[in-house]
A = this chain, B = another copy of it.
Amino acid sequence: MRTIREEGVQALTLRAAGKRLGVSRTALYRHFTDKSALLAGVAREGFQRFRQDLLAEWRDAGGGLDGLARMGVAYVRFALSNPSHYRVMFGGFSDLAAKDPELEADADAAFAVLVDALESLQASGDIIQHDREQLAQYIWATVHGIAMLAIDGQLGPDPAVAEALVPFATERLRLGIVARDA
C-alpha cells in the first residue's frame, strides 16, 4: 500500500515488495495466488474505505440534497488524495474481480451508499421518482469522470481547476434530478 501511494502502481513489483518486507520475492505466493490477486486485495481495501468516507459524509450532513452534494465532494477528494489507489480500484476492474469475487461485493457496497441516499431523497420527495439504479449510475459517472480527468492530468496541472469543477457539477446535477413540482 505504501509503495503504491508513494511511487505508483507500476513501482509495485513482487521483488520490491518482498525486499521491503524482508522476505524473498516468491514468499508472497504463499499469501496470494498471483500479483493480480494481491492488487484485488488492494482494490477491496480501497472500496471499503471509500464506503466509510461516503457514509460518514452523508450522516454528518444529516442527509438531504446537501448530503448528496457533500458526498460528491468527498468522492472526488478521495480519488485525488489516493490517485494510485483509485486507479487500481477502477482500472481493469473486471480482470481483478475475476481473481477475487469478493471485490465485486465491496464495490457494490460502496455503490449502495449512493443508492440508499437516493432512496431517502425520493422518499422525502426531493428528487424525481426515477429508476434508482440508473440515477445512481449517472451521478457516479459524473463524479468518476471528474476524478479520472483530474487524476490523468487532463484538467491541466492546476488542482484548483478540478476543485472548482466539483461544486459547479454538483449544482448542475442537482438541477437535473430535483423534483419539479416546487
A residues lining the B interface (CB < 8 Å): 90-94, 97, 107, 134, 137-138, 140-146, 148-149, 152-155, 161, 164-165, 168-169, 171-177
Q: Is the CB of B91 within 8 A of A154?
A: no
Q: Is the CB of B134 within 8 A of A165?
A: yes
Question: B residues within 8 A CB of A177?
Answer: 172
Q: Which listed residue, B153, B161, B176, touches A97 by the CB 8 Å rule?
A: B153
CB distance from A160 to the nearest CB of B (A): 12
Question: B residues within 8 A CB of A141?
Answer: 142, 145-146, 148-149, 165, 169
Q: Is the CB of A90 within 8 A of B138?
A: no
- 16 A-B residue pairs with CB within 8 Å: A90-B152, A94-B152, A107-B154, A138-B169, A141-B145, A141-B148, A141-B149, A144-B145, A144-B148, A145-B145, A148-B148, A172-B176, A172-B177, A173-B176, A174-B176, A175-B176
Q: Which of A93, A141, A155, A168 has the most CB of B within 10 A?
A: A141
